[in-house]
Amino acid sequence: MYEARNLPPPGAVAGELAIAPDSPAPTIRVCRYDPDHLTETTEEGALTAESLAPTGGEVVWIDVHGLGDEARLRELARALTIPELALADVVNAPQRSKVDVLPEHLFVLAHQAWRESDGKLGTGQVSLLLGDGYVVSLHDGRSDCFEAVRQRLRNPRSRTTKRGADYLLYALVDTLIDLYFPVLEIFADEIDTLQDEIFADAKTEHQERIFSLRRDLLSLRRGIWPLRELAGALVRDDSDQLDEITEQHLRDCFDHAALLTEMVDSQRDLVAGLNDAYLAAVSNRMNEVMKVLTIIATVFIPLSFVASVFGMNFERDGRPWNMPELALPYGYILFWALCLGVVGVMLWLFRKNRWF
Amino acid sequence: MYEARNLPPPGAVAGELAIAPDSPAPTIRVCRYDPDHLTETTEEGALTAESLAPTGGEVVWIDVHGLGDEARLRELARALTIPELALADVVNAPQRSKVDVLPEHLFVLAHQAWRESDGKLGTGQVSLLLGDGYVVSLHDGRSDCFEAVRQRLRNPRSRTTKRGADYLLYALVDTLIDLYFPVLEIFADEIDTLQDEIFADAKTEHQERIFSLRRDLLSLRRGIWPLRELAGALVRDDSDQLDEITEQHLRDCFDHAALLTEMVDSQRDLVAGLNDAYLAAVSNRMNEVMKVLTIIATVFIPLSFVASVFGMNFERDGRPWNMPELALPYGYILFWALCLGVVGVMLWLFRKNRWF
Amino acid sequence: MYEARNLPPPGAVAGELAIAPDSPAPTIRVCRYDPDHLTETTEEGALTAESLAPTGGEVVWIDVHGLGDEARLRELARALTIPELALADVVNAPQRSKVDVLPEHLFVLAHQAWRESDGKLGTGQVSLLLGDGYVVSLHDGRSDCFEAVRQRLRNPRSRTTKRGADYLLYALVDTLIDLYFPVLEIFADEIDTLQDEIFADAKTEHQERIFSLRRDLLSLRRGIWPLRELAGALVRDDSDQLDEITEQHLRDCFDHAALLTEMVDSQRDLVAGLNDAYLAAVSNRMNEVMKVLTIIATVFIPLSFVASVFGMNFERDGRPWNMPELALPYGYILFWALCLGVVGVMLWLFRKNRWF
Amino acid sequence: MYEARNLPPPGAVAGELAIAPDSPAPTIRVCRYDPDHLTETTEEGALTAESLAPTGGEVVWIDVHGLGDEARLRELARALTIPELALADVVNAPQRSKVDVLPEHLFVLAHQAWRESDGKLGTGQVSLLLGDGYVVSLHDGRSDCFEAVRQRLRNPRSRTTKRGADYLLYALVDTLIDLYFPVLEIFADEIDTLQDEIFADAKTEHQERIFSLRRDLLSLRRGIWPLRELAGALVRDDSDQLDEITEQHLRDCFDHAALLTEMVDSQRDLVAGLNDAYLAAVSNRMNEVMKVLTIIATVFIPLSFVASVFGMNFERDGRPWNMPELALPYGYILFWALCLGVVGVMLWLFRKNRWF
Amino acid sequence: MYEARNLPPPGAVAGELAIAPDSPAPTIRVCRYDPDHLTETTEEGALTAESLAPTGGEVVWIDVHGLGDEARLRELARALTIPELALADVVNAPQRSKVDVLPEHLFVLAHQAWRESDGKLGTGQVSLLLGDGYVVSLHDGRSDCFEAVRQRLRNPRSRTTKRGADYLLYALVDTLIDLYFPVLEIFADEIDTLQDEIFADAKTEHQERIFSLRRDLLSLRRGIWPLRELAGALVRDDSDQLDEITEQHLRDCFDHAALLTEMVDSQRDLVAGLNDAYLAAVSNRMNEVMKVLTIIATVFIPLSFVASVFGMNFERDGRPWNMPELALPYGYILFWALCLGVVGVMLWLFRKNRWF
């Protein structure tokens, strides 16, 4: 998220589109419904105001997957009178999440998050435009975030089909925000696993996983954080595009974003705690290693000295003061007794200092 | 708290309930009182507006334990015209603490905290709805937080029975907030114990306890923090549901929440300090270990060298310069004198550098 | 400060008093003055509105030491029409510092700090109520903070006796706040001492003193911090209880509280710096220890090896390649020359790497 | 950025210019255009209001490179009635980024950033003044940030030439802000590289690169941060110098500044994480070193002791208790068996404790 | 700065002066000027309203050095009707920086900073009072901060003499704030020096210099920080004491204070980075020491073991399995070959692990 991917070069005039080279060509799925009927088509022909307009109380949902064809996108924008700057914000991802009131649209720019199959965090920008009787959703097609909404529309008892386009906007925003919760739960699980592993046995790879968690949470946070302020933006917006119920539902959504931010902040705090715990574990480990070395060395170095002493070659013939102990009948036994005594005292001292 | 337990799946429509699988079926205790009488019953029959409504100046407290039966909860909501979104907030815990003014209710969503018998921190969401002459309290039944209020109502001299439903709401909120104080005192005790233990003898388990404290305080803080803002929410609320005295009492409550937040923040700061102290203690310990090793090694390594020297086999016959000291009559005595000298000098140096 | 001492149990109704078991019974000193006269008495009889009321332009200062008798306190509250909630705030310490405008009083709740004779930080809650012609001050009697004000009143040239009760309120608040400065100076001295000691020779006890400083500063900060906001509270208060001069003086007081907060924050920052310095000192110390060990070991371990070599028992008779150096006439001299050479090279290397 | 370069000495009167000694003399490029024509000249003669004024719907862009000639700058200021204080802000870099509404100009003071050829971060102050029909841009000429805009103007199909001077102002600000994105991408790459290198093999130089990143990000942040607030400043500005479309475009610009700040903050957070990772890597490395030492020492020190024992010279003639094992026919074999046994047990223990 | 130097004792009444015992007696320099004339005198006689008042369009600057004489200061205050509380703020340093609108004066309380000759940071409080046609500046005389302004007034072409007293106030504030820039530049130089030194060779003294920088920057920050808010205070002030140009100039001043705060904050951040770098350098150093020890020990400990083995005294007569290698004709050569082999393998391993 926000890893400056396809921004136009500096000096580009506003409204210029910087199409990402790997972005697929747009697939435009059009879904028309009223309380009784639902038709889903994939629009492949010319895009005109007429072909896309809702007819008679119908709601039209135009879901665009892939942003890889400038001509097609401009055609869509012309048909729906989407302003040039808004289209640039849609394509030149990443932008900051925001709610804008355009002359004929309510423009919600948000981000979705998902876990890739390899466990990595995927993020993408999703743009929603609420017009008169229709909603346009645009994203780069890497992850289909709105399948759940589509399922729901197909359900004949769904309430969504009984309400207007503004309620569809709400359902889409709500889905986007709700999709963060399972992602956060995976993070929570990973933090728990890391916690158990680090306290059991801290390894170098944990440091990498901590750093990667840190990076992902930072990325998530920046995607969610601006959404907190959106409730306020909606309140100040006096446009008539939202009826009161939808507005209330949307505010509820952005309250969830506030909850999400707090959850992410908590997780960031926990990850910082894990980092501390990791460092403490490494220190503790080194402490253990040093203790083993010290115990072995402090026990055997003096003993080795004693053994070396009795290996000295002082001449003893006629020199009674030179190493008389070598001549003792039980000198060797005494030597071992001395060794055991030293070991015993050492171990007692270590035990007393709680070294093991 | 806030460990995303029973949220509906992404794409769910607002108002959908995500009942936690282990949530018990609701027990609905109804308590009716006026200044002179008090009746406590457990409602097991049909829930209708009539059966629950207060009659003649009476106050009704409907206390719901357990949220495990969607049909029953919807029946209750219908009887009391609780809006669908509010019911969803009640069930789909955890939500952020808040005060909402609903068409016919004042809705307070808060969290309680308690210590489980195994010393762990338990947290749960508690919802309170103030209607016309009645208060509904709902929680998942894991901890009965309102027993103290029930006792008080039974006391014939209690002032609570002499006031209206809004005063009951206050008494419940007040109890919820006051329940945090003993929890915080347990934390304060644990911090004191940890402090003493760490300064006496830092162990690996302390790191785990510090991390767990950090986690619990983080959790507590997020439960209490939004309550600070509630006083403001009440002021902006111009509904007539609260008389002035209750409003003043409620503000007093939320002032206590501010105090709680400050106490939690202080404790978090102290826990951070404990972490520093733990790391310093580990470093100090390693320092001690290294000193022991260094003292032993620096004393005995040179001595061992000397002993090894006198164990060398240089031929001495006719080579007067080869190890003449071995032939000294008191060479061995001199050797020991040298050893004692080296030891003495070393110890004096260590003492001078304050190593022990 | 704020170590939840005598709060009522959860579920208690507002207004209930939780008298601390060790709180002494109240001593009520009444001090009446006008510009010309001053009478100081200790009120031991019944407390009635008449007995306490100021007569004819007089100002009455009712100074209550000790909060250990609920009946007596309630008698006082009744006599002066102090609301129940305010009395509860007075007794159920600790509360958050605040200024409240009550129907007939201006209520200032603040905290004092002092150094106990054993050097520990003592803190206590002080409540001030400004009524019509009188001021009530209440605290738990552990430290008599207002002796200086009493002295001043006795001084016939004092300006305080020439002004109204509101000016007395100011004088009391001012004294409370000024009492923080000497406490902070003691902290500043302790930080300086710690700094000198840690940079000279970091010891384990310093860690404890750092932690204790951290705890005390945290405690102080929470006592002073809310006072910053009180100036604003006074401005919004349109009651006529304060004349303009007093209001200006009080604002000056709360400006001092802002200065205090900044001083405490600076000291907290310095204590954090001391903690870093302590950890660095411990690391440096370990570094020194390791260097000593390494110098000794790297010098003597190779020498010991050489000595061991010349102690080997290879058979040399008829095997001219086995240890011919043992037969050299000056082999031993050469050995020592080799040793000195190795030592010299080592020391030169260490010196070059600036190890000593 | 902000490394106090050429500020006037203290006590200087406002409006005094502190020309940097190495600042080149100004080159004044004048670019006049209307939708159909474009003329670019370098103004070397006298600067008068007449020579610079736009004629007939024309827009004039006066681009000043180099600020090294006070007389010339004052001449320009006089010709365009630029206030003295504004000119001082232009020259006495660095100033804080800001938008000021002057009597006849809108004054935007911003900073540009670029990467020098040696990889270092270059920053410079850029001042923009929007007057009636003209824009003046001034910078010290170290990096030509507006070449892209010049190219665009030369393009006959460019929309910029079809709009007024205020749109040119927007295009310049937009370019300045967009120039930060490639700089940030270079930082992002460097952070990725550092991450890989540190996790692979932490070296001392990484610490220096981390510190340098920290310094550069700090510098960038202070250049961008004030720009966030500029959108608000424009809204409060009721001057008629900006038409609505330009204002909207400028707000879009400053939204990008908000995004930039968030990106910089994220990068700062990641750099802090890298620092932690570096320290952890150093600790881990030391751990590895200690383990090797400990394994070698704990294996060989006991063995050396045993070998020393069998090298002792206890007299064995007629003293059967003195070292009888030396006389065993397979004593030496047993010795090696013992050694192998000790090594085996040690290695098994190390393996069990997962030391390698 | 703010090291509570000469505050009155607690309980002192407002307006009491706490003269610092080492404060010199006031020197009162009076400087009168109009666009054409300038007279500088030192006032030693009685201070009366008449003797100090400006006459006929003149501006009077009364510069008071030294605050060591209460009577003299009170005389001055009486002559100029300076309120008692303001005089107390002037003398009882340190106070928080502020702008106050007094009945007849505009009161600016700020702090100056300078470097003492021994390199230490000096700070002092400076008070400025703007009255009708005159400015009073008061400071304790330890550093003469306004010499530059005096020089400027003497310059016949100076613009300052052509404007009113409010412009003089601006010139003084501007000088005070500008004096921070050279101080900050010295800090910046010291940070650069420290950076170079620490990355080259971290020493214990660096920790002390880091701590001292931290302390000084903290002190500076608290002196500058409140000045940021002063621009706002001036805007809210509707007094007629400042004409519009001066007000604009003063705002420019306080903008510089904002820039200063940001510079100080950056420097604090860099100092924190230096602390990290220092700790990392200490760790690295220890790592190097440990590596040397480990290389030496792991090379020689096994070799010593082998040498010890060949020094054992197993009986070999008739026991062919006891140490047959001692009888090999080239055993000693083989021994050295073994030693060299071990050393080679070890060094190859160390090289492979990039230990040197």
Residue-wise pLDDT for B110-141, tens only, equals 999 998 888 788 888 999 999 988 999 999 88
A179 & A47 share domain: yes
- List chain D residues with CB under 8 Å of A286: 283, 286-287, 290
Confidence at residue C13, expressed as pLDDT on a 0 to 100 scale: 62
Most confident of the ranges A4-13, C150-159, D239-248, E144-153: E144-153
B99 & B186 share domain: yes
Where do the H-state alpha helices sit in chain E? Answer: 49-52, 70-80, 84-91, 147-154, 165-178, 180-200, 204-228, 230-236, 244-309, 331-352
| Whole-number Å distance between alpha carbons of B49 and B136 | 13
Residue D15 domain flag: no
Q: Which subunits count as partners of chain C given 3+ CB pairs below 8 Å?
A: B, E
Contacts with A, B 33-92, CB within 8 Å: 85
- Side chain identity at E259, as an amino acid letter? L
| D264 — pLDDT class (breaks 50, 70, 90) | very high
| Whole-number Å distance between alpha carbons of E285 and C286 | 11
Confidence at residue A8, expressed as pLDDT on a 0 to 100 scale: 66
State the burial class of residue D341 (Cβ atoms within 10 Å of its Cβ: 0-12, 13-18, 19+): exposed
How much is the pTM? 0.84
C85 & C179 share domain: yes
Residues of chain E with pLDDT under 70: 1-14, 231-232, 234-241
Statement: residue C230 has pLDDT above 90: no
Strands C134-139 vs C59-65: parallel, antiparallel or unpaired: parallel
**Cβ proximity of C277 and C310 under 8 Å:** no
Residue E9 domain flag: no
Statement: residue C144 has pLDDT above 90: no
Q: Could you report the per-residue pLDDT of D181-203, keeping only the tens digit for each?
A: 889 989 999 999 999 999 888 88
Nearest residue in chain B measured CA to CA from C89: B252
- The count of structural domains within chain C is 2
Mean pLDDT in residue range C340-348: 92
Task: Give the H or E element holding residue A351.
Answer: helix A331-352
C198 & C326 share domain: no
| D274 — pLDDT class (breaks 50, 70, 90) | very high
3-state SS assignment for residue C327 = helix
Residue E2 domain flag: no
Mean pLDDT in residue range B186-200: 91
Domain boundary among E262, E281, E300: E281
Confidence at residue A236, expressed as pLDDT on a 0 to 100 scale: 64
C75 & C214 share domain: yes
Tokens representing B142 are 């894991």
Confidence at residue B229, expressed as pLDDT on a 0 to 100 scale: 73
- Side chain identity at D339, as an amino acid letter? C
Residue D290 domain flag: no
β-strand partners of A29: A42, A63
Mean pLDDT in residue range B171-177: 89
- Give the one of C146, C188, C301 whose C-beta lies nearest to E297's C-beta: C301
Beta carbon pairs, A and B, within 8 Å: 172
State ipTM.
0.79
- Side chain identity at A222, as an amino acid letter? R
Domain boundary among B281, B301, B335: B281
Nearest residue in chain D measured CA to CA from E175: D11
Q: Could you report the per-residue pLDDT of B251-291, keeping only the tens digit for each?
A: 788 778 888 888 999 999 999 999 999 988 888 888 888 88
Confidence at residue D29, expressed as pLDDT on a 0 to 100 scale: 93
Strands E134-139 vs E59-65: parallel, antiparallel or unpaired: parallel
- List chain C residues with CB under 8 Å of B313: 310-313, 323, 326
Q: Which subunits count as partners of chain B given 3+ CB pairs below 8 Å?
A: A, C
Contact A315 B326 (CB under 8 A): yes
- List chain E residues with CB under 8 Å of C181: 4, 7, 10
| C1 — pLDDT class (breaks 50, 70, 90) | very low
Confidence at residue A35, expressed as pLDDT on a 0 to 100 scale: 86
- Give the one of D308, D313, D326 whose C-beta lies nearest to E315's C-beta: D326
Residue B288 domain flag: no
Residue D66 domain flag: yes
Statement: residue D214 has pLDDT above 60: yes
Chain A: give the shortest CA distance to residue B59, in Å. 31
Q: Which of E286, E322, E333 to mutate: most C Cβ within 10 Å?
A: E286
Contact B313 C308 (CB under 8 A): no
Beta carbon pairs, A and D, within 8 Å: 172
In CATH, what number is assigned to the domain containing residue D131?
Answer: 3.30.460.20
Task: Give the H or E element holding residue C287.
Answer: helix C244-309
Confidence at residue A239, expressed as pLDDT on a 0 to 100 scale: 60
Nearest residue in chain D measured CA to CA from A271: D273
Domain boundary among A232, A261, A281: A281
Mean pLDDT in residue range D160-166: 85
- List chain C residues with CB under 8 Å of E328: 319, 322
C40 & C133 share domain: yes
Statement: residue B3 has pLDDT above 60: no
Which has the closest alpha carbon to C127: C149, C105, C103? C105
C84 & C181 share domain: yes
**Cβ proximity of B51 and B37 under 8 Å:** no
B115 & B260 share domain: yes
**Cβ proximity of C25 and C72 under 8 Å:** yes
DSSP tally for chain C: helices H, then strands E = 10, 7
- List chain E residues with CB under 8 Å of C283: 279, 282-283, 286
- Give the one of E179, E305, E354 whose C-beta lies nearest to D304's C-beta: E305
| C8 — pLDDT class (breaks 50, 70, 90) | low
Residue E14 domain flag: no
- List chain D residues with CB under 8 Å of A218: 266, 269-270
Tokens representing D240 are 């008629």
| Whole-number Å distance between alpha carbons of C109 and A141 | 60
Confidence at residue E3, expressed as pLDDT on a 0 to 100 scale: 45
3-state SS assignment for residue A185 = helix
E276 & E322 share domain: no
Contact B312 C313 (CB under 8 A): no
CA dihedral B93, B97, B101, B103 (to 10 degrees): 0
> E252 at the D interface (CB within 8 A)?
yes
Confidence at residue E52, expressed as pLDDT on a 0 to 100 scale: 87
What is the extent of the structural domain holding B347?
A: 310-352
Chain C: give the shortest CA distance to residue B272, in Å. 10
> E195 at the D interface (CB within 8 A)?
yes
Q: What is the pLDDT tens value at each position of chain A, 356 positions in all?
A: 344 456 666 666 667 788 888 888 899 999 999 888 889 999 888 888 888 888 888 999 999 998 988 899 999 999 999 988 889 889 888 888 888 888 888 899 999 999 888 878 888 899 999 998 899 999 988 888 898 888 888 887 777 888 888 889 888 988 888 889 889 989 999 999 999 999 888 888 899 999 999 999 998 988 888 877 776 676 666 566 677 778 778 878 877 888 888 899 999 999 999 999 998 888 888 888 888 889 999 899 999 999 999 999 888 888 888 888 888 888 899 999 999 999 999 999 989 888 87
- Give the one of C152, C259, C304 whose C-beta lies nearest to E96's C-beta: C259
Query: Cα E248 to the chain's mean position, in Å?
Result: 29
| B223 — pLDDT class (breaks 50, 70, 90) | confident
D206 & D325 share domain: no
- List chain C residues with CB under 8 Å of B259: 2, 94-96
Task: Tell me the Ramachandran region of residue B346: left when phi exceeds 0, alpha when psi lies from -120 to 50, beta otherwise.
Answer: alpha
Mean pLDDT in residue range B209-225: 90
Statement: residue C238 has pLDDT above 90: no
Confidence at residue B355, expressed as pLDDT on a 0 to 100 scale: 80
CB atoms within 10 A of CB E135: 26
B182 & B48 share domain: yes
Confidence at residue D273, expressed as pLDDT on a 0 to 100 scale: 92
- Give the one of E252, E286, E314 whose C-beta lies nearest to D286's C-beta: E286
Contacts with C, B 260-279, CB within 8 Å: 262-263, 266, 269-270, 273-274, 276-277, 279
> C294 at the E interface (CB within 8 A)?
yes
Where do the H-state alpha helices sit in D101-243? Answer: 147-154, 165-178, 180-200, 204-228, 230-236
Average pLDDT, chain B: 86
Tokens representing D107 are 């004054």
Contact C322 E307 (CB under 8 A): no
| B2 — pLDDT class (breaks 50, 70, 90) | very low
Average pLDDT, chain C: 86
Nearest residue in chain D measured CA to CA from E318: D329
**Cβ proximity of D293 and E294 under 8 Å:** yes
- List chain B residues with CB under 8 Å of C328: 319, 322
Confidence at residue C77, expressed as pLDDT on a 0 to 100 scale: 92
- List chain C residues with CB under 8 Å of E5: none
E110 & E171 share domain: yes
Q: Which segments of B53-97 are extended strands (E)?
A: 59-65
Contact D95 E259 (CB under 8 A): yes
**Cβ proximity of B278 and B198 under 8 Å:** yes
| Whole-number Å distance between alpha carbons of E18 and E70 | 9
Residue E220 domain flag: yes
